[in-house]
Chains A and B, each alone.
Chain A
Amino acid sequence: MAKHQITNQVRTLRFMAGEMTQQELADHVGVSRQTIAAIEKGKYSPTLELAFRIAHVFSVPLQEAFSYNPADE
């Protein structure tokens, strides 16, 4: 599985936003439901634009939706 240093709280934000479904979030930001699922599972890091769009949907700053964790060396 691909390792990502970027984690997200998309699933949590989604449930806090009136239990928004993955499909609804996908429709808001213009991607497929499978892409939202992959982001939540940490299998895909979105582009900067998509990350901003997701944060905008939940009306939160980018850092609240996505966080960067440098790998230990």
Chain B
Amino acid sequence: MSWNGIIVTAIAFAAGTLSAAYLTPHGPAPDMVQLEVDGKLLSVAINEVTVADWQACVDDGACESITSAKANAANLPLTGVNWFDVQTYISWRNARDDRTFRLPTLAEWSDISGKKTPIKRKLLFDDPRMAWAAAYGQEETPRGPVRVQGAWSRTADGVNDLEGNVWEWTASCSDPKGDPNRCPAMHVMGAHDAVLSVFVRNPASGGCTSGTPPTHVGFRLVE
């Protein structure tokens, strides 16, 4: 390592502001943007993980062949994966590419999307005893089939589809004090925050007695 490299690494350890990406020999991964997120520099994937990405894992024998991956075109975002599928993929990918990819936390995701205080329509009910019904009809849930990358939205930083119809798994447990590795339900982020059981691959559509669940669930990598 060069003298400059040693200084950079020393500063990194001291200040704790640089992400692990800068400590690897490879530098930031392709198709990622470097953003200041939650007080540190984070490498964020421009797009959600695709069917083609998943298929590479399947071909390697590490990931299961899943229905939605077979149904959708290779360049479409991958959907129909549960928490366990995502962990399997990330382990395989990190092993193959010698990287430290992971899911963003709820806080990181919110920062990346830039929506710190979501604009809400007036609540239907003010009475705290009616809190269970107050947000009815507020959540605008994009519906319909999975669309090509960039079809939904692009932030100023160049991150695609944070507001599309594919919700993204986060590393944050529904119980903030829970251990993320032993958590029954995790936050999934998209047009609105939702919580999904770790086993669910396809959130139910259209039948909730109140509130609207995510349309599809997929994921995005950060490092």
A and B, one complex? no
Residues of chain A having any CB pair with chain B under 8 Å: none
Residues of chain B having any CB pair with chain A under 8 Å: none
